[in-house]
Amino acid sequence: SNMTVSSAPGKVYLFGEHAVVYGEPAVPCAIERRATVSVETREDSRVRVSAPDLSLDGFTVEYGGNGDERPDVNVSEGLVEAGIEYIDVAVEQARDAANAPNAGFDVTVESDIPLGAGLGSSAAVVVASIDAATRELGHPLDPEELAARAYRAEYEVQDGQASRADTFCCAVGGAVRVEGDDCQHIDAPSLPFVVGFDGGAGDTGKLVAGVRSLRDEYDFAADTVESIGDLVRRGESVLAEADPTDHPPEDVLAELGRLMDFDHGLLEALGVSSRTLDNMVWAAREAGAHGAKLTGAGGGGCIVALDETAETETALRYTAECEDVFRAELARDGVRVED
């Protein structure tokens, strides 16, 4: 075979991170920032991974890839090693799905999703890798099976810490409703997201544990988690009433933005915001965004704002704490074949 190229989107949380851990609903949304993975089968059963833009210098690694010889990566940057681990488990899932335990691949990974910033970069790489590799083997998977296998792959690398939201959202695209283990695609209009990134990342495990102990100790924290659930349900009904084929009218954006602002306030009360996230959120609001909130685990990383104008982007560019800013419309397509 010649080569198969698949891409998969990153995601932001419109509403509901953290509360989702306690069974409340959440709404992650795929965004038009993608990881692209090219896969070509080899004559032998080895795996060669090139990731020209996943680190400063890029890297190429080749290994036996038969389960006995694991990738031996001689690079110091943790994210790069993690990148290889994700490809390794994705290759295993593809071999298993296609019943081809000895298949070898040349894999090239490119991504325009900031790494480790809570935008689902690892889920996008895993989903696109499994998709391209199974297609190469003549055994394409439907998005639901792809999501399930990508979840297993992430679960393995992340020691059981993975949430189903990232891999499902990235495989299926659009807006998603998550509640417990149940993930469903929901209708949504074209949401004009703007993402601000402070260049850092929070420790998801620590932040989740922090909310858990706060919730055990204080009634207000348990109530706050429930309040987040309430406003997610409000947000879902706003989305359900908007025409999904259209750009959202001003009143829909205003209401969603308001709910995002409330959500950020509640997350702040749960202790998962940071000064840099708060500064970016306030810069977006002052620039006229309909609303702004942290996205993902918090502690650092990204905020998401709603603004169809360029004002928020411009304001964030002049915000000292903001290292990177970009528009990211809602991605209608989840994983897709490129070329």
Residue 124 is assigned to a ligand binding site: yes
**118 labeled part of a ligand binding site:** yes
Tell me the closest approach of the beta carbon of residue 16 to ligand PMV, in angstroms: 8
- Known binder of ligand: residue 143? no
Residue nearest to ligand PMV (CB): 296
Active-site pick, 88, 166, 263, 307: 166
- Cα-Cα-Cα-Cα dihedral sign, residues 205, 153, 301, 182: negative
Contact 295, 202 (CB under 8 A): no
- Residue 17 or 131: which CB sits closer to ligand PMV? 17
Rank residues 38 and 204 by Cβ distance to ligand PMV and give the closer one.
Answer: 204
CA atoms within 13 A on the CB side of 148: 8
DSSP letters spanning 268-317: HHTT---HHHHHHHHHHHHTT-SEEEEESS-SSSEEEEE-SSSHHHHHHH
By three-state DSSP, how is residue 204 classified? helix
Q: Is 137 annotated as a binding residue?
A: no
Residue number, 136 or 263, with CB nearest to ligand PMV: 263
Contact (Cβ atoms closer than 8 angstroms) between residue 257 and residue 308: no
- DSSP single-letter state for residue 330: B
Minimal distance, residue 279 CB to ligand PMV, in Å: 19
> 201: annotated binding-site residue?
no
Return the number of other C-beta atoms located less than 10 Å from residue 273's C-beta.
Answer: 21
**CA quadruple 227, 266, 10, 121: dihedral sign:** negative
Choose among 116, 157, 159: nearest CA to 300: 116
Nearer to ligand PMV, 183 or 252 (CB): 183
Q: Least separation, in Å, of the C-beta of 294 and ligand PMV?
A: 9
Interstrand relation of 4-15 and 27-41 (parallel, antiparallel or unpaired):
antiparallel
Q: Which is nearer to ligand PMV, 204 or 274 (CB)?
A: 204
- Closest distance between ligand PMV and the C-beta of residue 98, in Å? 29
Known catalytic residue: 166?
yes
Residue 191 annotated in ligand binding: no
Interface ranges with ligand PMV (CB under 6 A)? 17-18, 20-21, 118, 120, 163, 204, 208, 296-297
Closest separation in Å from C-beta 20 to ligand PMV: 5
Binding residues: 114-124
Residues forming the active site: 166
Q: Binding site for ATP: residue ranges?
A: 114-124
